[in-house]
Amino acid sequence: MIRSGTLFFALLFPLAACSGAGNEEDVSAVDSSSELSMTDVSEDLSADISVEPEARTDSTHDVPPIPPPPPGTVRLIHFSDVHYTGNPANPGPDNILDGVEKIDSGDFFADLAIITGDLADAASAKFDEPGMEGPHHLFAQHISNLDIPWTATPGNHDYYASMYPLMAPVTDKAAREETLKTVLQHDPLYHAVDLHGIRLLMLNSLDGDLWDQNSGLLGSFSDEQLEWLDVQLSANMPVLLFLHHPPGTANAVGDQQTLCDLIEAHPGTVKGIFSGHLHGFQKGEYCGVPSYIVAWFRPKEVFYYEIEYDGQADTLTIVNEDEIPFASIPTFECTPGEEPLDPSPLLGKVHQLLPANMTTDASEVAQYAGDVFEAVPFMVSFDQFDGKSKLEARLTLGADFGGQEGFIDYVDGAPCLDFPFEYKDPCFVAGPVNFSVDGSLFLGLLLGDPNAFPWELQIPIENFWLEGRLGSTAAGPAVTGGILHARLMGSSMVNDMKAIFANEYCAGNMEGCVPGSSEDMPECPSPQPGMKFFPNVPAKCDLSVAGYSFRMVLSMAEAFGFGDMEAIGELTSKEVTLSAEPHAGSASDKLFDMNDGMNCGK
């Protein structure tokens, strides 16, 4: 149901029947050709306004189906992840009214606001009892202050009973969904709206079997929802999809069709996909369709998309795109001789490279892989200068977690590479070099714990090179502008994870899973089988990684499209002092130690 101000409007329109069990469902819809008077609706009551459905064809009458109206133009506001924290004892309204005011005061006149989940941060199961009103009811009351109608679909947090000390899903899913159906006025929670000849489909990515696994970080769909979606995509109308989980993180269960399968089965039908969940703006493609991830609800910053789809021109536009901090490809120019600088004061100094705004050529959520480069301390020691054009240097990697905060520690086994700078005062180029970084760091970033993944995991990085400018700073010469380029070979990490998983199964390290103990527990070949044996490990066998399922972590890495990708970002540097004792703002004096047995030793 679409909600507007303090009124609830149910506008029912025809829907082709879903196959199976002889059931038929109507789609909640708004149609521009319908003229509905609101003047008789009492201001203090919810009102259901019905439009009679078209007559259905049957086996005795040859009545041609009524074609959908020609598509017009639809204008939408899309936001997500409100995470309302109020409750009856302290109703807030938190920051919701600030966001409502920001939307209402804008100059974009939308037909509808669509909210894709995490409406509340969590809600105690007691609020699912009959007659109780809790955070979701309060959320609806506050968000209904919008000047335009709104509709919503749930996210993983809407199924949480508590957030602390652990994110705990409710134990009674049916009761929670009854609460959400009451609040959102949709049964089921996935639903459709037809607006100006364009179909808007609100999916429930918590509808499938994975809803309570690993805190709902990955989405899934029920068979019934996928059948319904197939019907919706068959209506010969342009479609925009809205859901909480980015489509690349919504998993098929068993032999289910994937969302991509259904999109490809109806080519040209889906015009755009909009989601939330990851709390940052991203854009890319999913199965050849433009895919947009919206940031979380932050009224002091831009937090929503202004969407316009023109059905006649078949164009999808993000009207406020210029205001949105999408990752962009950096550019850099440097003219030799423009600002002469003697690099000699750099000799004997160690600098930390500071990549920023890293982006990749990967699609959708895999763009976050660029964060790996911002998290790894790349350290450079400037060693010699020939007085002309060559500045000899070495490159190694440190670690800045797990010990003294702000201290860059020595990592045993990290590469130590010759990394000369070709210098044309004040411009330089350094590299390229090839090396590997610890892939467990990337997984730690996903899981929020840098030490979450205890196995050794390497990600090859190829063609790592820099272009930039040396300039004067208060601390002396430094890289004052430039670009870092690299190619990250993420597919190697995913394959290594599959090998680790298979080897752990064969070593008998999975509770309740003993190789060769039964027909459904296959024996393992000798020696350790590696990645090729991964598909043979029974689905019920798993490991725990910082409280998460290993299978889930692997699924995340695969679903995030973490394959081979080009990365590029802005670059500066800062001098770091070396110290034998850990303290903030310094680095280990072992980083470039050339004694035998050290990373830079012979």
Omega within 30 of 0 (cis) for the link into 247: no
% of the chain surpassing 90 pLDDT: 52
| Max CA pair span of the chain | 95
Q: What is the spatial distance between Cα 558 and Cα 324, in angstroms, rounded to a whole number?
A: 27
In the predicted structure, residue 418 carries a pLDDT above the cut 50? yes
Read off the pLDDT of each residue in 423-442 and give the average, rounded to a whole number.
84
Q: For 188-237, how does the pLDDT look when each residue is reduced to its tens digit (9 = 90+)?
A: 999 999 999 999 999 999 999 888 876 777 788 999 999 999 999 999 99
User: Are the beta carbons of 153 and 113 closer than 8 angstroms?
Assistant: no
Is 350 or 7 the better-scoring residue by pLDDT?
A: 350
What pLDDT was estimated at residue 119?
96
Amino acid at 368: Y
Alpha helices, DSSP H, located in 30-106: 96-104
Phi then psi for residue 199, to 5 deg, are -95, 125
Is 447 or 581 the better-scoring residue by pLDDT?
A: 581
What pLDDT was estimated at residue 214?
65
Half-sphere exposure of 5 (CA within 13 A, CB side): 10
Is 104 or 52 the better-scoring residue by pLDDT?
A: 104
User: Are the beta carbons of 17 and 55 closer than 8 angstroms?
Assistant: no
What pLDDT was estimated at residue 56?
32
Q: For 240-264, how does the pLDDT look when each residue is reduced to its tens digit (9 = 90+)?
A: 999 999 887 777 777 888 899 999 9
Least confident interval from 23-32, 221-230, 318-327, 426-435: 23-32
In whole numbers, what is the pLDDT of the chain averaged over residues? Answer: 82
What pLDDT was estimated at residue 39?
26
User: Are the beta carbons of 459 and 489 closer than 8 angstroms?
Assistant: yes
> Length of the chain, please?
602
In the predicted structure, residue 44 carries a pLDDT above the cut 60? no
Q: For 360-412, how does the pLDDT look when each residue is reduced to its tens digit (9 = 90+)?
A: 766 555 455 667 778 789 999 999 999 888 999 999 998 876 556 789 999 88
What pLDDT was estimated at residue 451?
66
Label residue 512 exposed, middle or buried (CB < 10 Å: 0-12, 13-18, 19+). Answer: exposed
**Any idea which fold 81-323 has?**
Purple Acid Phosphatase; chain A, domain 2 (3.60.21)
pLDDT band at 22 (very low <50, low <70, confident <90, very high): very low
Q: Taking the domains of the chain in order of start, what are their residue ranges?
A: 81-323, 348-490+563-582, 494-559
% of the chain surpassing 70 pLDDT: 81
Q: What is the spatial distance between Cα 198 and Cα 551, in angstroms, rounded to a whole number?
A: 38
Is 262 or 331 the better-scoring residue by pLDDT?
A: 262
pTM for the model stands at 0.64
